[in-house]
Amino acid sequence: MTSQDTERALLRHHGDVDAAPGLVDFAVNVRMDRPPRWLRDRLAAALDRLGRYPSSAEDAAARAAVAARHGRGPDEVLVLNGAAEGFALLPALRPTLAAVVHPSFTEPEVALADAGVPVCRVPLAEDDGYLLHPELVPDEADLVVVGNPTNPTSVLHPAGALRRLARPGRVLVVDEAFIDAVPGECESLAGAADVPGLLVLRSLTKTWALPGLRAGYALGDPALLAGLGRHRPQWPVGSLVLEAVTACSEPAAVAESARLAERADAERADALLALAGVPGLLVLAEPRAPFLLLRVPDGERLRAALRGRGIAVRRADTFPGLGPDHLRVAARAPGQFGLLVDALRQELALEVGV
Ligand SMILES: Cc1ncc(COP(=O)(O)O)c(C=O)c1O
């Protein structure tokens, strides 16, 4: 393996690898272990449609539901096989220089680099809480990717700072895969039809426990979406994906998502309080997503020790800009999060000698 292959393999590392079967999972940020009953029922009912190719009516229904949810037009919606497909399609826009704000989810960089697009990393700094400084993005970048809230820092950037990144001739990709876990979806640009070149990517994976389905969508100007989808095959998404996107965009689901976001917020506040007494551990930045970025002494040893206790956390050294002492943990309900806190307290007490 060349060093480039090794780097690519590390960029392709995700929490699902850390969360080996049998471990209590704080590595993956999916909220539940399966989709809610009403959604499973909708998907089960849609199985009867699998004897036909996905129809334009199913696609139109999904796009209409998403459009109504975000106050956009149906032609401003492109249904995707997860937000990850949106990243894989970015090279079709033929960018000449992509700027990726880091630390952040690494799939956009991999997709662009694999396609031969020059990628420049824009590093944010721990000492100012990973705040976004739009002026750090090179002027010549004609594609910019930023996550909001960002995985793994959990930072929610102000919509105003994101808007400052937009300009004619540039595509601004805002990865909002986690914004449905932020109460009020504040700082979302999903409804912003006035920002030039804006492409918002959304995911159904986390809130609705659907990682195995691959469901998400893009919002943007119809010409931009046409460019993005240029090389997609006929019937690019299946009927079950279309059904899930329709179902999760309907008012009852959006209301449930809002309630889940409030709960996620409360669980994160509890998790922060519980971690406050753990010796030697720092929670970085101001977390707003349902996960926390930690800095700990001797992170590799700690991760192995937690694993030995049956607990999986996400290694974070595979994110550009972070190292072995960074770990990402899902903020779960107090009953479950307590397991992690107890294990951290015991292991770190050994480490710092208290
Ligand atoms: C920040 C971020 N964006 C996008 C994705 C991919 O989402 P999807 O499952 O919809 O492809 C992930 C998955 O972990 C993620 O963490």
pLDDT tens profile 88-137: 999 999 999 999 999 999 999 999 999 999 999 999 999 999 999 999 99
Reported as a single tens digit per residue, the pLDDT across 192-225 is: 999 999 999 999 999 999 999 999 999 999 999 9
* Ligand 1 close to Cβ of residue 177 (< 6 A): yes
Q: Atom 7 in ligand 1: which residue has the minimum CA distance? A: 83
DSSP 37-69: HHHHHHHHHHGGGGGSPPPHHHHHHHHHHHHHH
Q: Where in the chain is the domain with CATH 3.40.640.10?
A: 37-254
Q: Where in the chain is the domain with CATH 3.90.1150.10?
A: 3-33+257-348
Ligand 1 centroid to Cα of residue 105, in Å, is 7
**CA–CA separation, 31 and 190 (whole Å):** 22
Q: Where would I find the beta strands (DSSP E) of the chain?
A: 24-25, 77-80, 98-102, 119-123, 143-147, 171-175, 198-203, 216-220, 282-283, 291-295, 311-312, 314-315, 326-330
Residue 277: its pLDDT value, please? 85
Q: What letter represents residue 205's amino acid? A: T
Please tell me whether residue 132 adopts helix, strand or coil conformation: coil
Ligand 1 centroid to Cα of residue 110, in Å, is 13
Q: Atom 3 in ligand 1: which residue has the minimum CA distance? A: 177
* Ligand 1 close to Cβ of residue 105 (< 6 A): yes
- Pocket mutation for ligand 1, best pick of 29, 78, 105 (most atoms within 8 Å of C-beta): 105
Instruction: Pull the structure tokens for residue 258.
Output: 């809002």
Which atom of ligand 1 lies at the shortest distance from residue 215's CA?
Answer: 10
Ligand 1 centroid to Cα of residue 289, in Å, is 13
Which atom of ligand 1 lies at the shortest distance from residue 84's CA?
Answer: 11
Mean pLDDT of the chain: 96
Residue 354: its pLDDT value, please? 57
Q: What letter represents residue 332's amino acid? A: R
Residue 108: its pLDDT value, please? 98
Ligand 1 centroid to Cα of residue 71, in Å, is 23
Beta-sheet pairing, 198-203 with 171-175: parallel
Residue 295: its pLDDT value, please? 98
* Ligand 1 close to Cβ of residue 108 (< 6 A): no
Residue 352: its pLDDT value, please? 65
CATH architecture of 37-254: 3-Layer(aba) Sandwich (3.40)
- For 3-33+257-348, give the CATH class: alpha beta
* Ligand 1 close to Cβ of residue 81 (< 6 A): no
* Ligand 1 close to Cβ of residue 91 (< 6 A): no
pTM, two decimals, is: 0.97
- Pocket mutation for ligand 1, best pick of 107, 150, 200 (most atoms within 8 Å of C-beta): 107
Instruction: Pull the structure tokens for residue 314.
Output: 């996400």
Residue 191: its pLDDT value, please? 98
* Ligand 1 close to Cβ of residue 205 (< 6 A): yes
* Ligand 1 close to Cβ of residue 147 (< 6 A): yes
Taking each helix axis from N to C terminus, what angle separates 37-46 and 239-249, rounded to the nearest 10 degrees?
140
* Ligand 1 close to Cβ of residue 130 (< 6 A): no
Which atom of ligand 1 lies at the shortest distance from residue 14's CA?
Answer: 14
Residue 18: its pLDDT value, please? 87
Ligand 1 centroid to Cα of residue 126, in Å, is 23
Q: Give the chain's residues under pLDDT 50.
A: none
